Structure 1
Amino acid sequence: MLKKIDPKELNANPFTLLDNDWALLMAGDKNSFNSMTVSWGGVGVLWRKNVTTVYVRQSRYTKEFMDNSDYYTLTFLKDGFKDKLSLLGTKSGKEIDKMNVEGLNLVELENGFGYEESKLVFVCKKLFKNDLKESQFLVDGLFDECYPDKDDFHTMYIGEIVGCYINE
């Protein structure tokens, strides 16, 4: 069961959460919803607010849901669900119904969704968005390393954490 807590009570490493465990980025509502697996992002404090930062490639189906929603969630599943994260990261919401993935039980939260199988969910209110461009990169070679084809750039979203849920 997911329990709402103050995000300052968390005892989690944001580096392992995103890089090792991965997260599901979800946006939309009951009628129009999508999710995707993410491992690029951050958790911190900005503009006197607890925030998350996520990056979505412009070609991803989830981007239109991010652009058309005021809120998004970052959901971290319990251990043993890497196969579900892989599925949700490689299949488009145009191909499968991401609200009804076998083995995952969707839970509606205030302004977002999580799964009963979550260990942590951040509900975030979008504060900022910016399309990344080659001219913004300050370190030689980084742009070419991350965008070798010089296309399909990311959009960065920053959201205030308005809900933090852990599984009891």
Structure 2
Amino acid sequence: MAWGILSLFVICAECKPGDAFFIRFFRDAALSDTFFVEEDTSIYIPLAGQISLAGVEKEKAVKFLEDTLLSFYARPLVKVYSLSRVYMTGQVEKPGPVYLMPSEGFIEAVAIAGTKDRADLARVKVIRDGKTIGLDLRRPRTGETPHDGDLIIVPKSPWPTLMEVYYVLAGVAVAWSLYLNIRR
């Protein structure tokens, strides 16, 4: 039996493929890792083995996992947090799913995904249950939290970057210089 204190972060209403678990062993950091529910709705946790979560609701899965892990790890401290899985697209460095703790909001989701130079944080769109919500992340509001399954779109800014302005002005200057030289 392994000695350790662990923390378990879980995402699932009814566990399905792609849901994530993060287990942190405070006394043995080498065992800490993120685990995903596989296509057969099971996960593999070292020492505990393959654990099936097929058709299990969140509350029951949490208790089941706690009991299972208690039988393999002596004196563990198990904490369970419900994570939100949101999807990032648009002017972000890492488009795709992002997993968020309950205390994390839209700004953290964008920070995790990273932004490109032309990202417009004043016109962020969130698509939730077929409805579009507009957000200005330059002025964050309290109470706005991501929901599981949200699609967050970071649009491209309509304004040119300083380098783009420089290139245009440099091109105009060269063209004007050529025009003046040819005209003489």
TM-score (norm 2): 0.26
Give the structure with the higher percent helix: 2
Between 1 and 2, higher relative CO (CA 8 Å, sep ≥ 6) is seen in 1
Give the structure with the higher percent strand: 1
TM-score (norm 1): 0.28
Rg larger in structure: 2
